[in-house]
Amino acid sequence: MGNSSYYWRCLARATMEEHLGRKLSTEEIVHHGDGDITNNNLDNLRLMSRSEHMKLHRPDIGKNNRGRKGQPLLQETRDKISKALTGRIVSQETKNKVSEARLGSKHSQKAKDKVSKANTGRVRSVETKAKMRRARRLYLERRGRCM
Of residues 11, 63, 14, the one with CA closest to residue 37: 11
Per residue of the chain (147 residues), give pLDDT as tens: 446 667 777 888 888 888 889 888 888 889 888 888 888 888 888 898 888 888 887 766 555 444 455 566 777 887 888 888 787 787 888 888 877 777 777 778 888 888 888 888 888 888 888 888 888 887 777 766 543
- Are residues 31 and 51 in contact, defined by beta-carbon separation less than 8 angstroms? no
- What values do phi and psi take at 63, rounded to 5? -100, 120
CA torsion sign for 45, 47, 50, 56 is negative
